[in-house]
Chain A
Amino acid sequence: MTFDAIVIGSGMSGGIAAKELCERGLKVLVIERGKNIDPATDYTDNKMPWELPNNNGVPQDEVAEHYPMQSMCYAFSAATKQFWAKDSEQPISTPEGKPFAWIKGDHLGGRSVMWGRQSYRLSEMDLSANAKDGHGVDWPIRYADLAPWYDHVEKFIGVAGSKEGLPQLPDGEFLPAFELNDAEKQFKASVEKSFPGRKVISGRTANLSEAQPQHTELGRTSCQNRSICERGCQFKAVHSSLNSSLPAARRTGNLTIVTDAIVHSLVQDPKSGKITSVKVIDAKTKEGRTYEAKIFFLNASTMGSAQILLNSANEANPRGLANGSDQVGRNIMDHLYGLATIAIFPGPEDSYYHGRRPTGIYIPRFRNVTEEGDGFVRGYGYQGGVSRTGWKQMALQPGVVGAEIKERAHTFGPWTAVVAGFGEVLPNPENRMTLHASRTDKWGMAIPHIDYSIGANEKAMIKQIQADGRAMLEAAGGKVVTQTSDAAMPGLGIHEMGTARMGHDPKTSVLNKWNQTHEIANLFITDGSAMTSSGCQNPSLTYMALSARAADHAVKLMKEGAL
């Protein structure tokens, strides 16, 4: 079959790319390596807590054999097991002593189904950071290039948030914010008084606080505050490829999806240099087949897209496709993560809340914005929340048994406040994914070898993330109970990015300012690979904005006959 466009990957960025291309009249094929998911039958969000097997735990031997890495993600459970790749089938390799976790989906919709939903724009500050301090290469775009596409994507997916007027965290097209609870309002007032320039805001999240007509026409309704988003949401109140972008693509009549189709490589015409087709391996039968199209969008994720480019090496391009710069697979960045400080907080004793809000609080970056960083460039934001202590902490104390457990579980505990930093990581070409020289997976594909570590800038940042977290909680009257001593294993931020970066110069970057590869006119890459720097903001919104922008441009080029 021949298509106008092929989109490789159906996750966060692929879903939006497919939608935008379909809406512009192209016949689009989406190729997904994982299994099909039908929201009508495959979501597990209608299960009551007592209906989940093994108290929602995956059998421990099964975890050890098939999911040792995936199970490190908080969203892994019996209710979501169907969404995770088996590490036993899709292993990665890392150097001794340098662990990295690649958390990945294995289904239609990819990680957009289980994502954390926090949605923040990059700012002018972020997009000019490399040019300013000399790390990495300059982004070939600025905020003004992205802003209309952020608007476009936010309106479509639905992002709840408050307008704050902050230059480092631009406002967007928001649905009403999820309001802070009383303790969070108290924390906000204290922090903003003690630290002028810092702000505590409602976490901007891709949940429909109030569904709008563009949402309801796709069958999406307002958020019911269940906070089981990662099981899939039958209210379709959370944005995912399954709930929003693929249905929007499908209604054009221009969408075809194939699942269980593992992309092996892109096929390049040696004369024109263009990509002509995609070679896939059937995940079930291991048989090979080919799909042809005029343009190609690579949205297989940061590691996956680089893997495909490297695996597409040919005689003229022994280092892999679009890799004249030797930057494919390099410059991996994953936000510093897991840097939490936890305190007992003197919130109002007679106040509570109702519902399980799907977001928390956010403290936008202030270091190297309104306050200098101590020995590092760039900065970090915090996610967190203040909530009442749950039954377990109240009831399960040594020596307490019998009816007293029930009585204690009825008692309202004090408020617990948590802030956890998400820190920007600098681009470093030595943080790199390559294809393993000898190890292959069950489909015969060379497995990724990921060599990653953080540097001096990140280490200095970690210290200040923890010092600032403690200082804010204490200034607000909190008593710090504990603090993590180090960042989580790299990869667990699940914000890995940078393996095919955008840039001005084909010698030092893979993609131009339209996410088009410098070397192959009909090949676009709009997932996390494209990121030239990482910012400290959760990046999915940017991937989606880049995808929509690139799709629009690609169609214009096609109509001009330039592709």
Chain B
Amino acid sequence: MQQFLEMDRRSLIQRAMLLLGATAVGACDFLPGAGAAKVLSTDQLKLLDAFAATLIPKTTTPGAVEAGVPKLLAQMYTDWASDETRSLLSGALDRIEAAARKTAGKGFAELAPDARQSFLAAHDKAALVDVPQPPSAPKGNPFAPVVSVVDNGYAKLKDLVATLYYSSEAALTTELAFDAVPGKWQPSIKITPETRPAVTFGGF
């Protein structure tokens, strides 16, 4: 329970409202765009690979890279993201790189796996600290509140990598339970050590 109480309310609210069939798309939760290029640079792609591999590594099951997440995200960067979102994502990657060089003296991708992980854990924690907004600041709506953390771009980047991973064929056949066609609704089953949570899309 304690662990759960620490969970962020935004995702809880969003998930809950989706369950109810509510408004899903946020308004202006992004910083103004800085005219980022429409494709990630070669260096950024390399960094994205390293980031994805560190965030969700290969274990006994495929990780984010094996699931093809960096490629998908790079494609979304070009095909889906607005200038504002590109600026956020690009900025988040650049800040990871700059912070790695500053604290570890090397680019993130050049760090040894252990060093990457400890660096990223610290970076992640710092990036996701809530930043209280003045009462006059836009709050979005209850279904899509404005994200306000130290590095909003990082929050977006992490969310996208994880969401793409847990929507991938690799993860949905190894990590979480996913039945495309569940058949009959079973309202009560006992959880055993073998039971895996089912993937949730939106509210489910």
Residues of A within 8 A of B (CB): 48-50, 53-61, 63-64, 71-76, 116, 178-182, 209, 223-227, 337-338, 340, 342, 344, 349-357, 360, 383-385, 387-403, 405-406, 409-414, 416, 418, 420, 479, 481-482, 484-486, 488-489, 492
Contact = CB atoms under 8 A, between A and B. Distances in A.
17 contacts: A49-B168, A50-B167, A179-B185, A340-B17, A340-B142, A352-B188, A353-B185, A354-B185, A387-B19, A389-B12, A390-B197, A393-B7, A402-B121, A409-B176, A481-B12, A482-B142, A484-B142
Nearest to A207: B185
A395 B75 CA distance: 25
A263 to B, nearest CB: 29
Contacts of A350: 190-191
B129 A398 contact: yes
Contacts of A484: 13, 142
B191 A392 contact: no
A406 B191 contact: no
Given A55-B167, A57-B76, A182-B187, 11 more contacts: A59-B79, A59-B80, A61-B82, A338-B143, A388-B197, A393-B15, A396-B159, A400-B124, A409-B176, A414-B1, A481-B12
A72 B187 contact: no
Contacts of B5: 344, 479
A430 to B, nearest CB: 25
Contacts of A50: 167-169, 172
Contacts of B21: 74-75, 116
B72 A226 contact: no
> Most B CB atoms within 10 A — which of A223, A342, A383?
A342
A352 B196 CA distance: 10
Contact of A398 (B15, B124, B166, B183): B124
A428 B160 CA distance: 45
A468 B142 CA distance: 19
Contact of B55 (A349, A389, A401, A479): A401
Given A49-B201, A340-B17, A392 B23 contact: no
Interface in B1-25: 1, 4-9, 11-13, 15-25
Given A50-B168, A405-B56, A399 B179 contact: no
Nearest to A342: B16
Contact of B76 (A54, A61, A225): A54
> Most B CB atoms within 10 A — which of A226, A350, A356, A398?
A398
A464 B4 CA distance: 28
A182 B188 CA distance: 6
> Most A CB atoms within 10 A — which of B168, B175, B189?
B189
Interface residues of B, number: 86
Interface of B: 1, 4-9, 11-13, 15-25, 54-57, 59, 61, 72, 75-76, 79-85, 117, 120-122, 124-125, 127-129, 141-143, 158-160, 162-164, 166-169, 172, 175-176, 178-191, 195-204
B169 A392 contact: no
Contact of A342 (B12, B127, B159, B175): B12
Nearest to B117: A402
Contact of A492 (B12, B23, B129, B158): B23
Contacts of B122: 399
Contacts of B128: 398-399
Contact of B187 (A181, A390, A403): A181
A400 B122 CA distance: 9
A353 B187 contact: yes
A399 B124 contact: yes
A420 B20 contact: yes
B54 to A, nearest CB: 6
A361 B167 CA distance: 27
Contacts of B163: 55, 392
Contacts of A224: 181-183
> Most B CB atoms within 10 A — which of A48, A49, A116, A387?
A49
Contact of B164 (A55, A61, A63, A392): A55
Contacts of A406: 56, 59, 61, 175
Contacts of B85: 60
B22 to A, nearest CB: 5
A49 B124 contact: no
A226 B185 CA distance: 9
Contacts of B164: 55
A203 B203 CA distance: 16
A64 B82 contact: yes
Nearest to A408: B3
Nearest to B130: A398
A225 B183 contact: yes
A127 B76 CA distance: 51
Nearest to B58: A403
B188 A181 contact: yes
A481 B163 CA distance: 23
B121 A74 contact: no
Contact of B12 (A63, A181, A482): A482
B185 A355 contact: yes
A224 B180 CA distance: 9
A193 B32 CA distance: 52
